[in-house]
Every structure is written in C-alpha cells, then in structure tokens.
A and B are shown apart, each in its own frame.
Chain A
C-alpha cells in the first residue's frame, strides 16, 4: 500500500516538474496554442500510447496516475480559458484543447497498437 502512494507521488512530482519546465520554455506569444495546450496534447498522446501496453498495477500507478496525471492539467486550462474575453474565444480555446487532445490520444493509441 505504502509503495502505491510513493509511486503516485514520485510520478506526479516529476510530471508537475516537467509541466513547469515546458511552460517556462514554451513561447508566450500564442493566444490559443499555449504551453498548457502543449503539455495537455503531449500528455494525451503519451496516455493513449501507454494504455495499449497493458501495464501492471505498479507501473500504471507510476506512469498513468502519477506522471501523466501530474503532467496534464485541467485546472490551469480552465482558468486560462476564463482569462479570454468573451464566450466565443473561450469556446475556441477549449475546443482546441479537447479536439487536439482527443486526436493526440487517438494517435498515441494507434502508435501503441502498431508497435505491438
């Protein structure tokens, strides 16, 4: 039980750190394709990929619940959407997140199945 907690903590800590670093590095000039968009797309692709691997419980806790859960973020996406002026811009912002995220997840799955 204790090692389950530890696996989730280490994974989520490293995931959050990677998110922080990618947000620092990502150019801030984009209105919609922000660093938050980039981490969510990357995380969705990787999640789509790892779910095809048929991981054991421990490795799923480290990579899926931990790392990819910590890398991707819903709350920052929502507050960033809230900073857009007007409902139309907010809808476009969220659509680009969810649309590209779903596509990335789908491609990740396809790559995983293809490599198997």
Chain B
C-alpha cells in the first residue's frame, strides 16, 4: 500500500507536469491563444476529456488505477485550471462586467454540457469495443 501511494504520487507529478506544459503551449496557438479564450478552451476540452476518460476507464476495471491517476488527476487536473478562470473573471469585470459574467457562465454551462457529452462518448466507445469483441468470438 505504501509503495502504491508512492508510485501513484510519482505518476501524478509526471502527469501534472505534462498537463501544465500542454496548457502553456496553448498560449502559442492561433486564435485560441488569445486571452481570454485560451483558458476557456483549455477548461472545456479538459472537462470533456476527463468525463470521457472516467466513463471509459470505469468499464475497464482490470486496468491499473495508475492510468486514472496519470491521465485524470495528473494530466487533466494539471491541464485545466480553476485559479486562472477566477483571475480572468476579476480582470474582465474591471472594464467589461457583462463580458466577465458571460465568460463565467459559458465556462460552467458549456463545461457541464461537455461533461455529459464526454460521458456519452465514453460509453459509446466502450460499447463499440465490447461489440467488436463479441463479433470476433462469434466468428
């Protein structure tokens, strides 16, 4: 158990470092790289992917828990950011309070929709794999 926690901690560290680096790279993308769209895009994508991952991995119970820790807690947790979202709401609200409210609402509302879509996609993906396995055994 003690060793498990240590490996898990290491895996989270590595995933977080990669996720943070990916988030930093997004600043250099065209269109999306422009403030404040970057964080909006990152958080939407991360919410979708984490929901997809959760639905996908929950069907693969034989998988070691380290995958969830590396991809979910590490990469997606490190990729998305709550702090910068709050910071941007504050900076926008100084001159454009309506835009700040819209930014926050869009982050959360569309984020929730993307969680639902991500879960659905994850389930469809797993069903697809299961069906093709069945076809292989039937053939």
Report A's interface with B, CB cutoff 8 A: 4-5, 8-17, 19-21, 23, 40, 43-44, 46-48, 51, 61, 64-66, 68-79, 81-82, 90, 94, 97-98, 101-102, 105-106
Q: Which residues of A contact B57 (CB under 8 A)?
A: none
Q: Give per-residue flags for B53-78: 1 if the beta carbon is below 8 A from chain A beta carbons, else 0.
A: 01000000000000001001110111
Contact A13 B13 (CB under 8 A): yes
A101 interface neighbour in B12, B76, B86, B114, Cβ under 8 Å: B86
Tell me how far the C-beta of A61 lies from the nearest C-beta in chain B, rounded to whole angstroms. Answer: 8
| Number of B positions contacting A (CB below 8 A) | 49
Q: Which residues of B contact A75 (CB under 8 A)?
A: 43, 46-47, 49-50, 76-77, 79-80
Report B's interface with A, CB cutoff 8 A: 8-9, 12-21, 23-24, 42-43, 46-47, 49-51, 54, 69, 72-74, 76-87, 89-90, 104, 107-108, 111-112, 114-116, 119
Cα(A23)–Cα(B46), bound, Å = 19
Q: Which residues of B contact A40 (CB under 8 A)?
A: 82-83
Tell me how far the C-beta of B81 lies from the nearest C-beta in chain A, rounded to whole angstroms. Answer: 4
Cα(A46)–Cα(B83), bound, Å = 9
B78 interface neighbour in A4, A15, A82, Cβ under 8 Å: A15
Cα(A28)–Cα(B7), bound, Å = 22
Contact A82 B17 (CB under 8 A): no
Contact A70 B77 (CB under 8 A): yes
